Chains A and B, each alone.
Chain A
């Protein structure tokens, strides 16, 4: 396989691959796609611009989902003690029911609605005469049955079209109950060009209706929030384990294994650590403006990345006690990681991988593949924006188009009573002098090798073509892509909701991932695809009986 890969790469330079991908399209489509496929130059600041976050082309089989999926599925799905009620016909609620492998631990007595699926199951008459009454009644029934502390309402496509005022209905019900926070999300599927719009809509409402609801000071010394971590396959549990060991208190996770109170208290933390830049960077910005909490980009995918992120957090607090504990924890955890790598890397070294996932994940997982000495030969995001590819420095240059303008931007001001800078000017200057970087994200391109292909919004046709031409040893994407890639004889690892595995975050997760990748790229099964008579079809001589 390794030599086959090499041969292919020699035959096919990135420019040829790019033109092969574009060959079949109608000219207009080809021109549009050409702007979303970039041959990486890996030169600082000279990377040519890549178009991202633009409309999907009708008829081209896309990997993307919709705004509702980003809002209900990604962001609010892992919130355990909130009743997530979908207002719309049944399908939308049904498909987001437990399918993202969010895990939670509510303990024996805690509230947990994650295993339930709530819907107003709109019928024809609701579409014709409006569904507000039904929605109000459904909220009432949910309240009467469960008495939850919070009910969240999600709009699906037809709700937006018929104009149901879900916000007013929610507000009225909230007032009526008095002890249950009810609010709504206008996350109709058609609102944006991808899930990304839904993340934004979700986060805005979380910020508006949940964050800052509880001022009570939580115990713990080094208080942080972890933003953009969704506890897929138990990732959040492993990160929590490490934080506890280090003496770091995680006030809230947005939104893996989260509770209402975590969001409500999140403004009491002293640092925001941002995992998935795409889905949540704006929340970090808003919390900084309103409450004075600075933020840093972290990554807990990959053992080295985890160590680096822990050190970054410790450096921020700057206390010896924490710095020492973090070092001790890293020293304790790394031998296991190194032992696994020593055993596995000889079998993964120089193998090639392609990754097309989400809007940050493809970048995060590159660190794990680097640890396995595997080469990422092509990568891209399903719904990243330009800053996710090229770093936050391009933010001022991003032009807003009609679709992005649809998504509300909150006007945030410092909170009169609760804004407090977490560090003095002097402390900030000292950190800056030491090279400490707040609010920095360099994007995927900076980390990709020269000559690799960065492709935005890859589609099924291009995926197949890429695999055919470049024969990677592993392909990573989502469930929709899994089996067509595997039919080609290339193992496919799902990185949205991880097939069956996980956790892959943190130290134990990294080891888990190394083993999983070893299993995939070295599995015997890929050798069984051809029967003996297909491998050697020539008939020579007759069968020799023993």
Chain B
């Protein structure tokens, strides 16, 4: 028993988090920044945070993740990190020459109160930023929100690069939220098929799912370009996918530059994808091509073919709010029963939304924002489930309780594929469903008695 000390009895904890269902803000900011073309993320704090964030992202994406750090020691922590930051900016432009340095804070620089906008101004004034190069920054204190908040904050900083020219560009901004590079690619494929011209930001496709070719590019070809980011202020409007990940940036563009926005759910599963495609149709004023209608039909077909194995199955979920909302809706739409749902990211709206989505299920769900996986495990002990969906750390619960399990979310440290195969859109829905059915039917094949074991399912 890997988690042998987890008791069934649930006691209230007010101070101790065990097995968190979230991590800290800067890693989200770092991931978002990698979605800008030619951008070096920079962590303003002590170097350990940066090392940890790079390691975690590297392990998840199995790709190089470069990021620099201000490398605070005790002195900087006492006297402020300005000198370190200025030195860093100079070194970074001299040695790596990125187009953009995307700076985020850590809990250390936040606590001492370093003023990044002021440091940036000073760097520019001192001529440390070469012509045509940029510094952007986000405040990402780790003692508020979660990695999702950090992602959102950096995306908001990206929106801050908008420089409207007054001439519309005829494009739609799409903010995909914290999804895999493959998902960003899939969103581009879908919008391309529909014929909507877009600026997708951030865009980590081509950055964190690159080829092995014998060449190493510190700044790979992918990513949203600075020109595109500047142009977001000239777009027709913004579709923000996910309230937690993307809405702030979209609203910022609306507020600053009157680019209207609409916040949708992340397009995981049937209904959320329907709404996304429908929104694109309305924006572009086109009818949806048959290929997409077909893809949708294939997903509905697979659900109907396999419904008997999905119906009534109880599921436990852990992950980030935007993903979980879409996944809950998807599961309910297939007559499955997501009954235990936990995210580490705070937000009362989350619990409310999940309760709405599961209302028709005809029973109470256990749902908690700012919960942890220890609690999730206790819930599972009290009422077992047929399936767990969540990140790599779920494997400990899955093994102890002997429950089929699908890896989905962040981080996935022990499997490949998530960076290459999308789970958004109808195609992504097919893949999610294939994975879910795979583990459920493997389980059935393993557990059925010999007389019940059958070739045809």
Contact = CB atoms under 8 A, between A and B. Distances in A.
Contact of A89 (B2, B72, B74, B107): B107
B96 A66 contact: no
B382 interface: no
A15 interface: no
Interface string A58-97: 1111111111110000000000000001001111111111
B54 A66 contact: no
In the complex, which of the residues B22, B25, B142, B344 has the most CB atoms of chain A within 10 Å of its own CB atom?
B142
Interface string A163-201: 000000000000000000000000001111100000000
A118 B396 contact: no
Contacts of B89: 59
A406 B212 contact: no
A475 to B, nearest CB: 12
Interface stretch (B180-188, B213-221, B255-263): B213-221
B5 A116 contact: yes
B141 interface: yes
Contacts of A529: 212-214
* A-B CB proximity, top 9 nearest: A66-B48, A91-B24, A59-B88, A59-B91, A137-B15, A89-B142, A484-B64, A95-B52, A487-B216
B152 interface: no
Contacts of A64: 47, 51
B73 A480 contact: no
Contacts of A58: 68-71, 84-85, 87-88, 91
Nearest to A63: B51
Interface stretch (B6-14, B153-161, B277-285, B288-296): B6-14
Interface in A7-31: 24-26, 29
Interface string B64-87: 111111111111110000001101
Contacts of B25: 91
B45 A157 contact: yes
Contact of A134 (B15, B66, B94): B15
Centre residue among A94, A144, A191, A484 by max chain B CB count within 10 A:
A94
B213 A530 contact: yes
Interface in A97-127: 97-99, 111-113, 115-124, 126-127
A482 B146 CA distance: 27
B457 interface: no
B90 A59 contact: yes
Given A113-B5, A488-B215, A99 B146 contact: no
Interface in B27-83: 27, 42, 45-49, 51-56, 58-59, 62-77
Interface in B97-122: 106-108, 110-112
B22 A138 contact: no
A529 B212 CA distance: 6
A59 B70 contact: yes
A464 interface: yes
A398 to B, nearest CB: 18
Contacts of A59: 42, 68-71, 87-92, 95
A482 B26 CA distance: 22
B143 A190 contact: no
A55 B73 contact: yes
Interface residues of A, number: 88
B18 to A, nearest CB: 6
A162 interface: yes
Contacts of A406: 74
B447 to A, nearest CB: 24
Interface of A: 24-26, 29, 55-69, 85, 88-99, 111-113, 115-124, 126-127, 134-135, 137-138, 140-142, 144-146, 156-158, 160-162, 189-193, 402-403, 406, 460-461, 464, 478-480, 482-489, 525, 529-530
B108 A192 contact: no
B69 A62 contact: yes
Contacts of B64: 482-484, 487
Interface of B: 2-5, 7, 11, 13-20, 22-27, 42, 45-49, 51-56, 58-59, 62-77, 84-85, 87-92, 94-96, 106-108, 110-112, 141-144, 146, 210, 212-218, 344, 374, 393, 396, 413
B77 A90 contact: no
Contact of A26 (B23, B45, B68, B91): B91
B46 A157 contact: yes
Contacts of B18: 116-118
A66 to B, nearest CB: 2
Contacts of A90: 17, 20, 22-24, 142, 146, 344
Contact of A483 (B5, B62, B108, B413): B62
B46 A189 contact: yes
Given A190-B74, A480-B65, A483-B64, A120 B143 contact: no
Nearest to A486: B212
A118 B111 contact: no
B17 A120 contact: yes
A190 B91 contact: no
Nearest to A525: B212
